[in-house]
């Protein structure tokens, strides 16, 4: 019997999937928030009024901000194609889903900066899309030295995504643009450099357990979330939502996505299926095994289910609130951690510290590099970046022990051609 045959749902049965008609399309986009509920633009980033650019949240700008001449039903020879306005809208909606929600929001911010730049330079609408290489070069050059290099690159990618979604050609001189982006990275102002994220440790988790009241709904959810995120080497954003009302069962982990899996040797893991990630649009599974001591994720998860008992198809780490069941957001999670450890100077406060700490913990336990890399779903370059940055990871591999030294060199040196 293989592991899949021995798998059991950790919290109950999942109803069978629904079938849909082949040509019947379903909504792909979330409802738009009324402009009456929106905060005004920042004083230094307020675009000129335009019917092409309604006031909306950053995550909606790629869709709602229209170029002067968008996609139409004519082919490349100018001949009409029998597609309706609904068909054209469907193309746009499908293209929008090619980008992760957090990416769409970041790109929307870049689109705002681009149009404010164009407003100040009196660039007419017809020159904003398709944007010429000269205009884009001027835009990137104007940001260099003021914004971080990564922000400048993201803003440019946002303008490109806007062109793609609305069917506008994108033409740039790649060699020159790459050089401009490289220069923007070199000119990143000191204030924009992020502080190095220190890794969260098992000792940090044990200390946190003493500072939370695990019989209260929020604290039970927060501790279950941080232990699951840590021991499964997962991104915090994959276990929380951005906003209270942002839960999407096709994207976020639900209680029904949890199951216990046992291999042929009787070893048990608890597996969490993430329906959609940046690198795996069809979803992927992460897992942890029970641990000893106060940081045990199994005990924390069972306590969360005891205190909050979220329904099967609700967010996994939702918790009971006076206003009803509430999804645990990333901001609420980090706020509670900060409150509980406010008097501790060296307690890591960044969400990414959890994944870094998990990587460090498994490596220091002697788990092979390639196993940790697969478990954490690290891209090669990112994984090596964190290997080089943390002396605790490097130390055991830089001693006189030949096998450890050989293992480290094999992963950090380029292959011989």
In a domain, 21, yes or no: no
Residues 235 and 121 in one domain: no
| Residue range 210-234: mean pLDDT, rounded | 96
Q: What angle, 0 to 180 degrees and rounded to 10, lies between the N-to-C axes of helices 330-340 and 217-231?
A: 100
Question: Is the predicted pLDDT of residue 5 greater than 70, yes or no?
Answer: no
Out of 8-12, 231-235, 371-375, 393-397, which region has the weakest mean confidence (pLDDT)?
8-12
Least confident piece of the model among 154-168, 254-268, 294-308: 254-268
Query: For 49-68, how does the pLDDT look when each residue is reduced to its tens digit (9 = 90+)?
Result: 999 999 998 889 999 999 99
Share of the chain above pLDDT 90, in %: 53
Q: How many structural domains is the chain composed of?
A: 2
Do 94 and 182 lie in a common domain?
yes
Angle, alpha carbons 83-85-87 (nearest 5°) = 55
Q: What is the dihedral of CA 60, 65, 71, 73, to 10 degrees?
A: 80
Residue 400 has a pLDDT of 59
CATH number of the domain to which 264 belongs:
1.10.443.10
Distance CA 61, CA 64 (A): 5
Q: Tell me, yes or no, whether 147 lies in a domain.
A: yes
Q: How many Cα neighbours within 13 Å face the side chain of 107? A: 24
> 383-417: string of b/e by CB count within 10 Å (b at 16+)?
beebbeebeebeeebeeeeeeeeebbeeeeeeeee
Beta carbons within 10 angstroms of residue 188's beta carbon: 18
215 shares its domain with 234: yes
Q: Residue 66: inside a domain, yes or no?
A: yes
Residues with Cβ < 8 Å from 248, sequence gap 6 or more?
A: 30
Judge if the upstream peptide bond of residue 311 is cis by omega within 30 degrees of 0: no
Strand partners, 128: 131
| pLDDT, tens only, 269-307 | 999 999 988 778 888 999 999 999 999 999 999 999 999
Domain match, 340 and 262 both: yes
Instruction: Flag the least confident range among 75-84, 184-193, 223-232.
Output: 184-193
Whether 3 is covered by a domain: the verdict is: no
**Which of the listed residues 192, 218, 249 is the one where a domain comes to its end?**
192
What residues have CB less than 8 Å from 294, skipping those under 6 apart?
A: 205, 206, 209, 210
Answer yes or no: do 398 and 361 share one domain.
yes
Q: Is residue 80 part of a domain?
A: yes
Determine how β-strand 258-262 pairs with β-strand 268-274. antiparallel
**Residue corresponding to tokens 């660039």:** 123
- Say whether both 173 and 286 belong to one domain: no
Q: How many CB atoms lie within 10 A of CB 119?
A: 15
Question: What does the pLDDT read at residue 351?
Answer: 77
DSSP secondary structure, 179-247, as one string: HHHHHHHHT--GGGSPPPPPPP-HHHHHHHHHHS-TTSHHHHHHHHHHHHHHHTT--GGGTSBSSTT--
Are 312 and 406 in a shared domain? yes
How far apart are alpha carbons 108 and 116 in whole angstroms?
Answer: 13
Domain that holds residue 135: 35-192
Is 4 contained in some domain? no
Res 282: pLDDT: 85
Helix (H, G, I), strand (E, B) or coil at 260: strand
CA–CA dist 186, 192 (Å, integer): 12
Q: Tell me which of 192, 217, 251 is where a domain ends.
A: 192
In a domain, 78, yes or no: yes
Residue of 140, 232, 239 whose CA lies nearest to 182: 140
Both 285 and 371 in one domain: the answer is yes
Least confident stretch, 16-20, 41-45, 106-110, 169-173: 16-20
From 163, 192, 221, give the residue that closes a domain. Answer: 192
Query: Over 60: is that where the pLDDT of 4 sits?
Result: no
| Mean pLDDT score, 400-407 | 53
Residue 17 in any domain: the answer is no
Distance in Å from the first CA to the final CA of the chain:
44
Verify that 265 and 145 share a domain, yes or no. no
Q: Is the pLDDT of residue 415 over 80?
A: no
């Amino acid at each position: 019997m293989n592991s899949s045959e021995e798998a059991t749902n950790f919290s109950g049965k999942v109803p069978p999937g629904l079938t849909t008609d082949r040509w019947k399309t379903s909504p792909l986009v979330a409802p738009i928030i009324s402009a009456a509920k929106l905060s005004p633009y920042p004083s230094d980033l307020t675009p000129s009024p335009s019917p092409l650019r309604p006031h909306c949240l950053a995550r909606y700008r790629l869709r709602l901000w229209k170029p002067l001449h968008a996609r139409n039903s004519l082919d490349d020879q100018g001949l009409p194609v029998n597609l309706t306005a609904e068909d054209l809208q469907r193309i746009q909606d499908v293209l929008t889903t090619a980008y992760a929600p957090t990416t769409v929001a970041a790109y929307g911010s870049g689109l705002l900066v681009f149009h404010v730049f164009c407003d100040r330079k009196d660039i007419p609408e017809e020159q904003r899309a398709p944007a010429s290489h000269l205009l884009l070069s001027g835009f990137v050059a104007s940001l260099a030295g003021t914004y971080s290099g990564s922000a400048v690159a993201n803003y440019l990618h946002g303008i490109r995504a806007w062109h793609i979604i609305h069917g506008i050609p994108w033409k740039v001189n790649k060699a020159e643009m790459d050089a401009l982006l490289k220069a923007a990275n070199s000119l990143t102002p000191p204030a924009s450099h992020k502080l190095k994220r220190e890794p969260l440790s098992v000792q940090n988790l044990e200390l946190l357990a003493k500072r939370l009241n695990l019989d209260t709904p929020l604290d039970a959810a927060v501790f279950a979330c941080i232990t699951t995120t840590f021991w499964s080497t997962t991104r915090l954003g994959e276990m929380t939502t951005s906003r209270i009302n942002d839960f999407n069962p096709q994207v976020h982990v639900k209680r029904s996505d949890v199951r216990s899996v046992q291999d042929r040797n009787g070893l048990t893991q608890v597996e969490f299926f993430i329906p959609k990630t940046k690198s795996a649009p069809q979803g992927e599974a992460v897992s942890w095994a029970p641990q000893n001591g106060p940081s045990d994720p199994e005990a924390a998860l069972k306590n969360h289910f005891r205190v909050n008992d979220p329904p099967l198809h609700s967010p996994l780490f939702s918790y009971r609130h006076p206003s009803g069941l509430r999804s645990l957001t990333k901001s609420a999670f980090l706020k509670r951690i900060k409150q509980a450890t406010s008097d501790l100077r060296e307690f890591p406060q960044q969400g990414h510290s959890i994944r870094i700490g998990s990587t460090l913990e498994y490596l220091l336990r002697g788990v092979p590099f390639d196993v940790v890399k697969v478990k954490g779903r690290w891209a090669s370059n990112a994984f090596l970046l964190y290997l080089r940055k943390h002396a605790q990871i490097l130390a055991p591999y830089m001693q006189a022990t030949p096998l450890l030294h050989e293992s480290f060199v094999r992963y950090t040196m380029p292959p011989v051609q």
